[in-house]
Amino acid sequence: MQRDATMPLETSLSQMLSSSDFGNFFGISQEVQDLVWRNLTEKEGNSVAYISMEIGADPDVYSPLAKKLRDLQVTESSQSNIQGFLKKIFYGPGKIPNYSGGLGILAGDTLKSFADCHLPVVAVSLLYRHGYFSQIVDSQLGQLSQRVDWNPEDTPGLYLLRDPQQPEKPLHIEVPFLNEYDQETVATAQVWMKIEVSEALDFFIPELLLDFFLPETPALIRNAAKQLYDSESSMVKALQRRMLGTGILPVLQALGITSRTFHLNEQHGVVVAMQLIAEELYRTLKANDLACATNAQILTAASTVAQRIVYTIHTPVKAGHDRFDKSLYAGISHKSCQRILDLLARDDDNPHTYNFTNFAMQVNRSANSVSRLHRDVTHKQFPQFADKITAITNGVHHLTWISDARAAVFDTIPELQGWRQDPGVFKTVAQLKNNQEFRSALLDAWRKDTHILFDFVNTMLRQHRSQMTQTWIDPPNYYSSLIDHITKLNPDIFTIGFARRFSTYKRADLIFHDIDKLADIFVSNNWPVNFFFAGKAHPADEPGKTVIRLILGHQEELHKKSKGLANLIFIPNYDMAIAKMLVAGVHAWLNSPKRPLEASGTSGMKAAMNGVPNISIMDGWWAEGHHNGETGWKFGHEGNVSIENLSESREELLYKEDSNSFYNLLPSVLEDFYRDRTHSAFLDKGIMNLCRNIPIFNTHRMAAEYLKKYDLQLPAEIKTKMQSFAQLYSSDS
Ligand SMILES: *Cc1c(COP(=O)(O)O)cnc(C)c1O
């Protein structure tokens, strides 16, 4: 889609139009449209369906199409159909609030890499009319959640699929359910498709989002579909899982997609395995009722289906594993399904519940954990499956998370040529460690990103100050009560970032455990410091919300005890755009979970991609990314992990031990930072992050490792490229 100089703009825009049986699309050529559908609908089923409860891929953070249009200096078109698409891209909402955190963003990053690598993959998820939730923060009350209303209709890259038989109507799929009166019913969904387009606009991954919020869908189900991880009741939770799991086969069938392999991103969609087992039984027994199937026949069918499933387990934390009361589940599924669950979803701890993790563990060809340490923990949690659980360490999509300023530097370095296509290119960057030109360009880019972040934060603080007088919300920043219209936080001051979901095991408040000790470090050396914190707690997670209140409560105390040297700022409503600004703009990225509960963690990888060093507990990815201190700092408890370490009770979260370890480390970090104006020790670590961590913690490499678990035939050229990515790292050693 390179525009040659002689080609009129309108012609090159027309080449971005394409259509299929399901509608008209903008951003990819007809050739690409046809290629993707040919791959997904071919007879042998040579493709993968990637199943996730959430997908995080906000267009305001990454949109190759918008970038292309800006490069072409397109702002409008005389063709009205194209003009409609352009309007959405330039003026539509930049956010798709269908994610809550790490799991969803990992899914989005993974799908972007699949697109860049031209892999035949389709994704299936749900569309939530009220998204996750929007966070308001009050200094006294803490987190308040507000419903998000968004219009999929206006969102760029999102299309409501049409019924090929009646193109004026949306495509509807029907999913069998039981209703609240135990009667058989169907839930109807329409299908939105997000086009996750490759960087070069020469491939895409269709993300099919099932939207059950329709008048014809029974109220119980319709209401359960509104909000991601709505935890009003375990019924709502079970219904959401069931909508995803049982929606998969009908939607693929309606689109003619033949995927043989299913990748479960966590066990949320595992109900699809139950359906595949039922289908297999119908096929082999030639029966229309499964009542006649014996247990042995069910187990045989399950082992056939297992060959089609790749499963990623994401957390050792209990709340991440779905368990449902058998009696509750009986209310939403048919008897034959219950027989399958009775055999395969046993819960060793409780005979009255189904354990969906156990189900997913049994029915797969490959079970993968998300880091090496997580693999070791998972082996201990599930000793009966230890033989088959391997590690595929998570990654992030480098093109999404590397800031514009850093990317502009990489573009000018001959040694880094091709970095957009191949993150392995960064392996050689250590050679440039003493190249003064490179160092100063990198430092300038870092400063640029820091200024962008500080402009954002200073504007926010001034808004908080006026909020104080204009609304009933007490602004979430003590600091904003101290400033006037000229005071600002200073970007030359050492700034630590921390942002993630507020769950108690993530211990956001760890470093404030002993504020006297912390403040003394600053006062006795006269070192000023900023702490920028952000993150949402699940609205039903009271302990998580308490941690947010604790953080807010520490703001004044820290400021006063440090004699104004240390300021702790909270940025409300964490999302991908804030994440990107933070990871690129701070001087160090902090992670302080209780080892080994983090499993992987990905925000630290985003910082590493920008050459920002981490200060972290040796948990999750950091145990692999720390490289004996070449890339950052470690603190806290290490040593072997055992089942006992998985406790999440407050007394066993090691606050005292790990915070002390942080206080012992911090002075040397600050000394490094303030030693010279060019922050050379930080820049050294930054360059080593580019060199050692970009080649490992990117989703191209991760996709290549997963590809080995899929059963796919690929053209030689793609195979060779994927092999080269796979060779960047071996997660499971
Ligand atoms: C990356 C990211 C996360 C996940 O971060 P972790 O370090 O894995 O906890 C959560 N939310 C947003 C908005 C992110 O960008």
Token pair 């014809």: residue: 216
In a domain, 493, yes or no: yes
Amino acid 6: pLDDT: 55
Ligand 1 centroid to residue 159 C-alpha, Å: 27
Q: DSSP of 694-711, one letter per residue?
A: TTTSBHHHHHHHHHTTS-
User: What's the pLDDT tens digit per position in 475-516?
Assistant: 899 999 888 877 899 999 999 999 999 999 999 999 999 999
What distances in angstroms separate CA 164 from CA 28, 157, 480, one per listed residue? 20, 20, 56
Ligand 1 binding pocket mutation candidate from 504, 578, 602 (most atoms within 8 A of CB): 602
Cα–Cα distance, 248 to 388 (Å, whole number):
26
Which atom of ligand 1 has the smallest separation from the CA of 500? 9
Amino acid 548: pLDDT: 97
Strand partners, 633: 615
Decide whether any atom of ligand 1 lies within 6 Å of the 601 Cβ.
yes
pLDDT at 57 over 80: yes
Query: In sequence order, what E strands does 648-698 have?
Result: none
Amino acid 685: pLDDT: 98
In a domain, 387, yes or no: no
Q: How many domains would you assign to the chain?
A: 1
CATH number at residue 430: 3.40.50.2000
Decide whether any atom of ligand 1 lies within 6 Å of the 278 Cβ.
no
Ligand 1 centroid to residue 415 C-alpha, Å: 31
Decide whether any atom of ligand 1 lies within 6 Å of the 107 Cβ.
no
Structural domain boundaries, residue 473: 401-701
Cα–Cα distance, 473 to 71 (Å, whole number):
42
User: What's the pLDDT tens digit per position in 205-229?
Assistant: 999 999 999 999 999 899 999 999 8
Residues 416, 421, 425: CA angle, nearest 5 degrees:
35
Decide whether any atom of ligand 1 lies within 6 Å of the 378 Cβ.
no
Longest dimension (CA), the chain: 80
Ligand 1 binding pocket mutation candidate from 96, 98, 105 (most atoms within 8 A of CB): 105
AA letter at 670 = L
Phi and psi, residue 531, nearest 5°: -115, 120
Which atom of ligand 1 has the smallest separation from the CA of 580? 15
In a domain, 240, yes or no: no
| R_g of the chain computed on alpha carbons | 26
Give the chain's length. 733
Name the closest-CA residue to atom 4, ligand 1.
102
Helices (H), 526-620: 542-561, 576-585, 603-609
Name the closest-CA residue to atom 11, ligand 1.
101
Q: Cβ(88)–Cβ(141) under 8 Å?
A: no
Decide whether any atom of ligand 1 lies within 6 Å of the 575 Cβ.
yes
- Secondary structure class of 125 (helix, strand, coil): strand
Q: Which of 8-22, 30-44, 139-153, 333-347 has the highest mean pLDDT?
A: 30-44
pLDDT at 323 over 70: yes
In a domain, 724, yes or no: no
Q: DSSP of 510-531, one letter per residue?
A: GGGTTHHHHHHHHHHHT--EEE
Cα–Cα distance, 53 to 534 (Å, whole number):
23
Average pLDDT, the chain: 94
pLDDT at 363 over 90: yes
Decide whether any atom of ligand 1 lies within 6 Å of the 603 Cβ.
yes
- Secondary structure class of 394 (helix, strand, coil): coil
Decide whether any atom of ligand 1 lies within 6 Å of the 395 Cβ.
no
Ligand 1 centroid to residue 456 C-alpha, Å: 19
Residues whose CB is less than 8 angstroms from the CB of residue 74 and which lie 6 or more positions away in sequence, other chains included: 9, 13, 86
Residues whose CB is less than 8 angstroms from the CB of residue 404 and which lie 6 or more positions away in sequence, other chains included: none
Q: Cβ(374)–Cβ(600) under 8 Å?
A: yes
Query: In sequence order, what E strands does 330-388 have?
Result: 353-355, 366-369
pLDDT at 264 over 80: yes
Q: Cβ(257)–Cβ(176) under 8 Å?
A: no
pLDDT at 12 over 90: no
Residues whose CB is less than 8 angstroms from the CB of residue 730 and which lie 6 or more positions away in sequence, other chains included: none
Confidence band of 531 (pLDDT split at 50, 70, 90): very high
**Which whole number is the average pLDDT over 686-708?**
98
pLDDT at 262 over 80: yes
Output helix, strand, coil percentages for the chain, rounded to the nearest 5. Answer: 45, 15, 35
Confidence band of 1 (pLDDT split at 50, 70, 90): very low
In a domain, 320, yes or no: no
Amino acid 179: pLDDT: 66
Decide whether any atom of ligand 1 lies within 6 Å of the 92 Cβ.
no
User: What's the pLDDT tens digit per position in 556-594?
Assistant: 999 999 999 999 999 999 999 999 999 999 999 999 999
**Which whole number is the average pLDDT over 441-453?**
98
385-405 b/e with 16+ CB inside 10 Å = b?
Answer: beeebbbbbbbbbbbbbbbeb
Which atom of ligand 1 has the smallest separation from the CA of 602? 8
Least confident of 190-199, 231-240, 383-392: 231-240
**Which whole number is the average pLDDT over 616-624?**
98
User: What's the pLDDT tens digit per position in 663-681?
Assistant: 999 999 999 999 999 999 9
632-635: strand order across its sheet: 566-571, 529-534, 494-499, 588-591, 614-617, 632-635
Confidence band of 330 (pLDDT split at 50, 70, 90): confident
Residues whose CB is less than 8 angstroms from the CB of residue 370 and which lie 6 or more positions away in sequence, other chains included: 312, 313, 314, 391, 392, 393, 394, 599, 600, 620
Which atom of ligand 1 has the smallest separation from the CA of 578? 13
In a domain, 237, yes or no: no
Ligand 1 binding pocket mutation candidate from 109, 112, 501 (most atoms within 8 A of CB): 501
Cα–Cα distance, 281 to 410 (Å, whole number):
55
Q: Cβ(359)–Cβ(344) under 8 Å?
A: yes
In a domain, 94, yes or no: no
Decide whether any atom of ligand 1 lies within 6 Å of the 576 Cβ.
yes
Ligand 1 centroid to residue 31 C-alpha, Å: 35
User: What's the pLDDT tens digit per position in 76-101?
Assistant: 899 999 999 999 999 999 999 999 99
Whether cis (ω within 30° of 0) applies to the bond prior to 250 is no
Neighbours of 429 (CB within 10 A): 25
pLDDT at 177 over 90: no
**Which whole number is the average pLDDT over 606-629?**
98
User: What's the pLDDT tens digit per position in 223-257?
Assistant: 999 999 887 788 899 999 999 999 999 999 999 99
Token pair 């299936």: residue: 124
Residues whose CB is less than 8 angstroms from the CB of residue 200 and which lie 6 or more positions away in sequence, other chains included: 64, 116
User: What's the pLDDT tens digit per position in 115-127?
Assistant: 999 999 999 999 9
More confident residue, 45 or 1: 45
What distances in angstroms separate CA 732 from CA 25, 102, 310, 619, 706, one per listed residue? 41, 22, 16, 16, 12
Confidence band of 5 (pLDDT split at 50, 70, 90): low
In a domain, 678, yes or no: yes
Structure tokens at 559: 């400021």
Cα–Cα distance, 475 to 419 (Å, whole number):
43
